Amino acid sequence: MVKVGVAGYGVIGQRLADGVTLQKDMKLVGIADLFPTLSIRALKERGMPYDLYLVEGADKSKFDALKIPVRGSFEDLVGKVDIMLDSAPGGVGIKNKVLYEKAGVPAVFQGGEKNSVADVFFHGYANYEKGLGAKYLKLTSCNTTGLIRSVDCLDREFGIDRVAITIIRRVADPGDYHRGLTNALQIDRAPSHQAVDLMTIMPHVQATGILVHTPVTHGHIITVVAHGKAGKKITRDMALEAFKAHDRIRVVTIDDGFLGNASFFRYARDLGNPRGDMYEIGLWEDSIVESGEDIMYAVNIPQESVTIPETMDAIRASLKMQGDSASGTAETNRYLGLGKWK
């Protein structure tokens, strides 16, 4: 049983903790945070299924006042685990790394951190092997993780040499008050970092892209224009078959009721998934179209939970629990129930 700790119990941290708990070959030792946030209060109301450790600067008296039991310090937690998952706010991970290094503990960082924090910029499908035995890994961001799942899927099967993406980005998570957009679309300087990141992970693919922020909270939608390697034609049917075979891609149709990003959230809630989370990206069958040598399609990215499976993969790669992408991702998928619904 691999012992795992989670630093930062926010939107991602909570889901990492859940994800680890579902892996039968891992054990969640505890989580660390700074303030008695709503998420920590909810943990208390749930009866503390996980132990809580406090990071430096935390005021323990605030936790005591709320009768929230504290198990120890961040250092205590780091001392008890085989690997840390760091989902602290962007820029904090690099500071936490000092502790991990001191304790000789490997760590997986999330997308908010700079690439330089890690030895390997990681994706479970596209470059698992690079992560084997690596001490510090950084996951791709939510958009890039989902995007690469779909591009890697086509690339493995048919070869891809060029993609142009349009990211229609949800601007905030449900419950966010610290950021937001009201009745406006906002454009970023091109190329988007997701296109650049894709090229880092998949260096044989040329990528560019434009990102537009939209005032919604449920899932990014990305359109992808992909060019078959050396102009090789990928038909709609070829793409569809490949996507349907992937365990982390849900192929759906508009006729079935999947009208947009909010339908996926609704469906995940109706499934009874904790928090209405979904690990799979959605892919609309009705969006796949051909244009000359290009194939175009649209995917839905559940931003809060999409990186959880690839983070589990990262643990498997770093600790050499499985030796290649196929067996590593299969193990993660098995414990998360991915592909089961087909």
> Tokens for 201?
């992970």
48 binds a copy of itself per the rule CB under 8 A: no
In angstroms, the CA 262 to CA 243 distance is: 21
Place of tokens 């890697």: 152
Q: Provide the minimum distance between the beta carbon of 222 and a copy of itself in the complex, in angstroms, as a whole number.
A: 9
Name every residue whose Cβ is closer than 8 Å to that of residue 342 and which is 6 or more positions away in sequence: 244
Q: What DSSP designation does 276 have?
A: G
Does the N-terminal peptide bond of residue 49 adopt cis geometry, omega within 30 degrees of 0?
no
In angstroms, the CA 281 to CA 185 distance is: 23
Looking at 280-323, which runs of residues are DSSP E strands? Answer: 281-284, 289-291, 294-301
Site residues (CB under 8 A) for a copy of itself, limited to 20-39: 37-39
Of 257, 324, 326, 327, which one interacts with a copy of itself (CB under 8 A)?
A: 257
**In Å, how far are 101, 110, 182, 342 from 136, measured between CA atoms?**
10, 11, 38, 35
Of 70, 245, 254, 326, which one interacts with a copy of itself (CB under 8 A)?
A: 254
User: Which range touches a copy of itself (CB under 8 A), out of 75-83, 105-113, 116-124, 172-180?
Assistant: 172-180
Residue with Cβ nearer a copy of itself (119 or 161): 161
Q: Provide the minimum distance between the beta carbon of 179 and a copy of itself in the complex, in angstroms, as a whole number.
A: 8
Of 112, 209, 302, 309, which one interacts with a copy of itself (CB under 8 A)?
A: 209
3-state secondary structure of 220: strand
Residue with Cβ nearer a copy of itself (37 or 235): 37
Catalytic residue among 28, 43, 142, 207, which? 142
Q: What element of type H or E holds 233?
A: none
Residue with Cβ nearer a copy of itself (79 or 191): 191
Residue with Cβ nearer a copy of itself (43 or 117): 43
Name every residue whose Cβ is closer than 8 Å to that of residue 194 and which is 6 or more positions away in sequence: 141, 143, 144, 147, 165, 167, 209, 211, 222
Residue with Cβ nearer a copy of itself (39 or 73): 39
Place of tokens 């770093």: 318
Task: Please state, as a whole number, how many other Cβ atoms lie within 10 Å of the Cβ of residue 101.
Answer: 13
200 binds a copy of itself per the rule CB under 8 A: no
Full DSSP string of 313-342: HHHHHHTTSSSSHHHHHHHHHHHHTTTTT-
Q: Is 142 a catalytic residue?
A: yes
CB 139 within 8 A of CB 110: yes
Of 109, 125, 258, 279, which one interacts with a copy of itself (CB under 8 A)?
A: 258
Of 2, 94, 103, 296, which one interacts with a copy of itself (CB under 8 A)?
A: 296
Q: Provide the minimum distance between the beta carbon of 45 and a copy of itself in the complex, in angstroms, as a whole number.
A: 5
217 binds a copy of itself per the rule CB under 8 A: yes
> Tokens for 106?
């490997």
Of 67, 116, 230, 270, which one interacts with a copy of itself (CB under 8 A)?
A: 270
290 binds a copy of itself per the rule CB under 8 A: yes
Q: Provide the minimum distance between the beta carbon of 251 and a copy of itself in the complex, in angstroms, as a whole number.
A: 14
Q: How many residues bind a copy of itself (CB under 8 A)?
A: 84
61 binds a copy of itself per the rule CB under 8 A: no
298 binds a copy of itself per the rule CB under 8 A: yes
Of 240, 262, 319, 330, which one interacts with a copy of itself (CB under 8 A)?
A: 262
Handedness of CA 22, 85, 205, 165 (dihedral sign): positive
91 binds a copy of itself per the rule CB under 8 A: no
3-state secondary structure of 270: helix
Residue with Cβ nearer a copy of itself (2 or 296): 296
Which residues belong to the active site? 142
